[in-house]
Amino acid sequence: MGAAVAADPDAAPLHPRSRALVDFALSLTRSPGAIAEESLSPLRAAGVTDRGVHDAVNVIAYFNYVNRVALGLGVELESGA
């Protein structure tokens, strides 16, 4: 499943809860200013709790931050990574 998400997260075959989380992560990453209360509806419908939303937002934001810092500094992956 991880390889499918990495290859094409929009089309990866996922269970409803995972699909809601991946779609939310993509939205928060691609269009953070567009996130609104209704953006959480698919997460809630998939059974994600308030704590789960909080945790997801923090993980998504952290990875976006680290990636932007690395890109901004020109960090390159080590070979074999």
- The domain of 46 spans 2-73
Look up the pTM and report it. Answer: 0.86
End-to-end CA separation in angstroms for the chain: 19
Answer whether residue 78 is part of any domain: no
pLDDT tens-digit series, residues 21-32 = 999 999 999 999
Residue 48 has pLDDT above 60, yes or no: yes
Answer whether residue 32 is part of any domain: yes
Answer whether residue 40 is part of any domain: yes
**What value does the mean pLDDT take over residues 61-69?**
96
Percent of the chain with pLDDT over 70: 96
Answer whether residue 81 is part of any domain: no
Q: How much is the pLDDT for 79? A: 75
Q: How much is the pLDDT for 78? A: 82
How confident is residue 81, by pLDDT bands cut at 50, 70 and 90? low
Answer whether residue 19 is part of any domain: yes
DSSP string for residues in 44-76: HHTT--HHHHHHHHHHHHHHHHHHHHHHHHT--
Structural domain tally of the chain?
A: 1
